[in-house]
Copies of this chain bind each other. A is one copy, B any other.
Amino acid sequence: MTRPLSVAVAGLGTVGGGVLRLLRDNAEIVAARAGRSIAVTAVSARDRLRERSVPLAGLRWYEDPVAIAFDPGVDAVVELIGGAEGPARALVEAAIEAGKPVVTANKALIAIHGAELAAKAERHHVPLAFEAAVAGGIPVIKALREGLAGNRITWIAGILNGTCNYILTTMRERGREFAEVLGDAQKLGYAEADPSFDIDGIDAAHKLAILAALAFGRPVAFDAVHTEGIRGISALDIAYADQLGYRIKLLGIARQTEGGIEARVHPCMVPATSSVAQVEGVYNAVVAEGDFVGRIMLEGRGAGAGPTASAVVADLVDVARGRVTPVWGASSGDLSDAPSVPMEAHTGFYYLRLMVIDQPGVIADVAAVLRDHGISLESLLQRGRSPGEAVPVAIVTHDAKESAMREALDKIAALDSVLEAPTLIRIESA
């Protein structure tokens, strides 16, 4: 057997602890799979004295995470600090420049700086691996970049944020409102004290940007992802979805269109019987469609110490075995320069839910606005009557253009009889 792979881990939070525990508990399995043992020899974290679940005795300790890149006894660096800037970015850059393979779980860093980091890694002939950055323990990066390597991927979609999926699932199962369920999720540790990163779709957008780059073989383009979160979803919308045969999911979707690549994260109505609709609670799933393979779905836990550690160690095993894959699936010269298309160019079916004053002529006004923008109605639901009071109206459109829909929506919102900002949810056949 070759000599051990000596690894430095920066960041000893939940995931870092998980990685150390995995490498200790499953040392024999990992060594067999890697062809050599994988040993953590150096660590860096903010608080040296904090109580940890894994003993750190005998490991070299660094206050400054970047310093581990210069430790001559370190063969590979694991970055678990997080954040697109600051020490995480500095460490990854330093390690690549020092010629040391990097394994990271940092989706923000890869989504935002992944194009330049890939170029740097290529220049220095250093692997940069990030299986843990998307969908936790599900080996989706490997599946896309290697397992489906022969395919022209036409479409990819995923439930990429467990917090949002947990909230939407619980709202549906309990018939409760967003704010209440979010509060409970925070108490249970399924949502952060500041939840905006998750519930506004940013975390999912980071992951989708990475998946889209891999699926379409081009450098990552986070800025091109249209991003909406789930704050605007009410119990009423979930009830309407149920009635219409749909479930509401926050999906990240990327698609090859004639004009280029469309990438978007927003709440969707998906058929209640579809595979994606069955993915509930904190589970993640990724569905990809390739021209030869057809449709593939991968499902599993998208977060947590165990699943994320599983992904980090899979990357370390690749490093230990010398299995190398270019960051975006191909060398920079072989990447596609397919343009991104703006969300305004999207076409699809829409669900629109209004609160209106129940009085004659309201529906006629709304319908006239839609007609004037070339949008035709598939169905309209106005249940119950309360003359002069606020009542909900749900509308499902036929295929419409996003730009027309937005203009129509502004006009509808401005009608006197329309009381709140309308809720717009896109319908996906997924």
Give the B-binding residues of A (Cβ under 8 A). Answer: 18, 22-23, 25-26, 29-35, 131, 137-139, 142-143, 145-152, 217, 275, 278, 290-301, 304, 306-307, 309-314, 316-318, 321, 323-326, 329-331, 334-335
Which residues does chain B contribute within 8 Å of A31, judged by CB atoms? 334
Determine if A292 and B35 form an interchain contact, defined as CB atoms under 8 angstroms apart: no
Other A-B contacts than A137-B148, A137-B290, A150-B313, 8 sampled, CB-CB below 8 A, are A26-B151, A29-B152, A35-B330, A146-B318, A275-B299, A294-B304, A296-B300, A297-B298
Question: Which residue of chain B has the shortest Cβ distance to A328 in the bound complex?
Answer: B32
Interchain nearest-CB distance for A248 vs B (Å): 19
Q: How far is the CA of A326 from the CA of B304 in the complex (A)?
A: 30
Q: Which residue of chain B lies nearest to A331 when distances are taken between CB atoms in the complex?
A: B35
Among the listed B25, B149, B304, B314, which residue makes an inter-chain contact with A149, where contact means beta carbons less than 8 Å apart? Answer: B314
- Evaluate contact between A317 and B137: CB separation under 8 angstroms: no
Q: Are A151 and B278 in contact (CB under 8 A)?
A: no
Q: Is B150 a contact partner of A29 (Cβ separation < 8 A)?
A: yes
**Closest beta carbon of chain B to A290's beta carbon, Å:** 7
Q: Which of B150, B312, B325, B326 contacts A309 (CB 8 A)?
A: B150
**Which residues of chain B are within 8 angstroms of A317 by Cβ–Cβ distance?**
146, 149-150
Residues of the B chain whose Cβ atoms lie less than 8 Å from the Cβ of A25: 291
5 nearest CB pairs, A to B: A139-B147, A150-B313, A32-B334, A137-B293, A32-B330
A215 to B: closest C-beta gap in Å? 11
Which B residues touch A334, using CB under 8 A? 31-32, 35
Interfacial chain B residues near A275, Cβ < 8 Å: 278, 299
Complex Cα–Cα for A290 and B136 (A): 13
Cβ–Cβ contact B142 & A147, under 8 A: yes
Are B139 and A143 interface neighbours, CB within 8 A? yes
Which residues in B have their C-beta under 8 angstroms from that of A309? 150, 292
Distance between Cα atoms of A331 and B32 in the complex (Å): 7
Give how many copies assemble into the complex: 2
Cβ-defined contact, A150 with B301, below 8 A: no
Contacting residue for A293 out of B33, B306, B321, CB 8 A:
B306
A314 interface neighbour in B33, B34, B146, Cβ under 8 Å: B146
Known contacts A32-B329, A321-B324: does B298 contact A293 (CB below 8 Å)? no
CA separation between A284 and B386, bound complex, in Å?
A: 51
User: Is A310 in contact with B293, judged by CB distance below 8 angstroms?
Assistant: yes
The complex places the Cα of A18 from the Cα of B31 at a distance, in Å, of 37
Structural contact, B307 and A26, CB atoms closer than 8 A: no
Closest residue of chain B to A299 (Cβ to Cβ) is B297
Residues of B near A298 (CB, < 8 A) are 143, 296-299
Contact B137 A146 (CB under 8 A): no
Set of chain B residues within 8 Å of A152, measured between Cβ atoms: 26, 29
**Nearest CB on B from A173, distance (A):** 13
Contact B148 A139 (CB under 8 A): yes
* Distance in angstroms between the alpha carbons of A143 and B150 in the assembled complex: 16
Partner of A310, one of B34, B151, B297, B310: B151
A151 contacts across to B, CB distance below 8 A: 26, 29, 310
- Contact (A292, B314) CB under 8 Å given A32-B217, A147-B143, A150-B26: no
CB distance from A149 to the nearest CB of B (A): 4
In the bound complex, CA of A329 to CA of B35 (Å): 9
Shortest distance between the CB of A382 and any CB in chain B (Å) = 34
The CA of A316 and the CA of B18, in the complex, are separated in Å by: 34
- Which residues of chain B are near A316, meaning CB under 8 Å? 150
Q: Using Cβ atoms and an 8 Å threshold, which residues of chain B touch A330?
A: 32-33, 35
B30 x A150 contact (CB < 8 A): yes
Chain B residues with CB below 8 A from A26, complex form = 150-152, 291-292
User: Residue on B with the closest CB to A330?
Assistant: B32
Residue of B nearest to A316 (CB): B150
